[in-house]
Amino acid sequence: MVKRERFPAMLLTAALVLASAGPVLSGPWEDTLQAAKKEGTVSVIASVGSDYRQVLTLPFEKKYGLQVEYIGMLGSAQAARVFRERRAGKYLWDVFVQGTSTALIFMKPAGALDPIEPALLLPEVTDGKNWQGGRLTYADKDHYNVLFGLVTRPAFAINTNLVKAEEFTSFRDLLDPRWKGKIIVGRDPRGPGPGQSIFTFFLMNPKLGPEFIRALMKQDLTILRNDRQALDMLAQEKFSILLGPAETVTSDLAKVGVPIRMVPPQNLAEGGPLSPGPATLMLVNRAPHPNAARVYINWLLSKEGQTEFTKVTGIPSLRVDAPRDHIESWRFPMENGTATYTEEAIGVKDSLLALLKEVIGPRGR
């Protein structure tokens, strides 16, 4: 009789010990989280700017107690850096938060990415009802690059002392002789960025196309590689119109009274470009912190992560439960917009670059 009672008593004691120690973690998410805590760090490459740095580091670090090693760079510079490091046998990065050009022109063809879908572990991330269209959106058929935001890009920016937005009902109005020598491009369209995005739109739009680009370049465009410098020159009335403006900086300057404004493409006959901007995620292969990378990806795609990101960047999240009341309505994805971020759009890049080489010349160092 005593022997029969002893075994249940031992089980009861063990159960009490486990209960006092807290809940037992199990399952893919919990196992990944515990492994991530042992790694302690996630290495992230993302966009330039203190706002991006803060929103992509501080909330995550506070929630999970993991350190984010962060570097902000332009997309093409990011890829060049990673390729240099890999040639030297260094695999230092876990996650890219950037645009689709970086993913589809550089990282994916170089074999530097893993498919991101298997890394999505949280039900609130994988459940289609939480996303516009009832599913997650990928820029590529192999699901290496997931979009979490999508924005209608401005047609262009103007100096409101020199130009009225109501003067434009079509992109073809840019061909008016009075704008000759008065148009600047902030980011060289021969490289990734908002300049290339707007020229991709010009090429893909059936109402514009190569003929329009050739005609536009006869307007003596000034082409820079510095977004802020271009905005400063626009504000100083050295130019009237800026193609491919850096949207966050443009909005910030307008809010403090600088006489610049973004022109919504909804006003124009041809519509406008749709782009995620820097709101896409990539999982780097041979990552030094693979578990922390998965925790980071799931956090950023969660309601909490998307709320933090969209409030700082003003990019409308594709999550249906992320706030939008702080965003100008014209920036929501427009129905007749042209997607400049897909593999199809990336597929026209060779044609675009060949055309730009013809009308501008080769890109220097």
Of 237 and 18, the structure prediction assigns the larger pLDDT to 237
Alpha carbon distances (Å) from 63 to 45, 52, 148: 20, 17, 20
- The residue segments making up the domain with residue 212 are 154-271+345-359
State the pLDDT confidence band at 291, using cuts at 50, 70 and 90: very high
Mean of pLDDT values over 183-203: 90
Residue at 129 is within a domain: yes
Cβ contacts of residue 13 below 8 Å, gap of 6+? none
Q: How many whole angstroms from its chain centre is CA 300?
A: 12
Q: Residues 179, 325: one domain?
A: no
- Model confidence at 213: pLDDT above 60: yes
How far, in Å, CA of 153 to CA of 268, rounded? 13
Q: Residues 233, 350: one domain?
A: yes
Q: What is the C-alpha R_g of the chain?
A: 24
- Model confidence at 21: pLDDT above 60: no
Beta strand 145-147 with 137-138 is antiparallel
Q: Residues 226, 349: one domain?
A: yes
Alpha carbon distances (Å) from 29 to 56, 191, 299: 21, 39, 12
Sheet holding 338-339, edge to edge: 151-152, 273-275, 338-339
- Model confidence at 75: pLDDT above 90: no
Q: Residues 77, 129: one domain?
A: yes
pLDDT tens digits for range 143-154: 999 999 999 999
- Model confidence at 197: pLDDT above 60: yes
pLDDT at 16: 45
Residue at 6 is within a domain: no
Percent with pLDDT over 70 in the chain: 92
Average pLDDT value for the chain: 89
How far, in Å, CA of 68 to CA of 184, rounded? 37
- Model confidence at 5: pLDDT above 70: no
pLDDT tens digits for range 340-350: 888 888 888 88
Q: Residues 60, 45: one domain?
A: yes
Residue at 38 is within a domain: yes
- Model confidence at 306: pLDDT above 90: yes
Q: Residues 72, 127: one domain?
A: yes
Q: What CATH number is associated with residue 76?
A: 3.40.190.10
Which residue in this structure is represented by tokens 């990019």?
A: 315
pLDDT tens digits for range 156-186: 999 999 999 999 999 999 999 999 999 999 9
Residue at 21 is within a domain: no
Q: Residues 139, 186: one domain?
A: no
Q: Residues 246, 318: one domain?
A: no
pLDDT at 29: 97
pLDDT at 50: 81
- Model confidence at 252: pLDDT above 50: yes
Q: Residues 67, 183: one domain?
A: no
Residue at 5 is within a domain: no
Residue at 12 is within a domain: no
Q: What is the pTM of this model?
A: 0.81
Q: Residues 160, 304: one domain?
A: no
Residue at 216 is within a domain: yes
Helix (H) or strand (E) holding 343: helix 343-347
- Per the structure, the count of domains in the chain is 2
Residue at 14 is within a domain: no
